[in-house]
Amino acid sequence: MKQTDTFISVIDQLNPHLKKYDLNKMVYDFENLNPNIEVSQLQIEEIYLFPVYKKVN
């Protein structure tokens, strides 16, 4: 995480094809990938796993 990053900005960077967001699902997926971290606890200069979603045509 960089100082200017937010949860949504990182999701956008990793998933530029997304047109709609299911924020509850994204938070759920993030917290499953990072079991001891809540989205509200993100820290600068830490490394986290973020979900990447397949592009649906």
- Reduced to 3 states, what is the DSSP secondary structure of residue 14? helix
Half-sphere exposure in the Cβ direction for 48 (13 Å, CA): 30
CA 21 centroid distance within chain: 11
- Is the predicted pLDDT of residue 56 greater than 80, yes or no? no
Q: What is the pLDDT of residue 10?
A: 96
Mean pLDDT of 40-57: 91
Which residues, including other chains, have CB under 8 Å from residue 42's CB and lie 6 or more apart?
1, 5, 7, 48
pLDDT tens per residue, range 5-24? 999 999 999 999 998 889 99
Q: What is the pLDDT of residue 43?
A: 94
pLDDT tens per residue, range 27-46? 999 999 999 999 999 999 99
Between 23 and 56, the more confident residue is 23
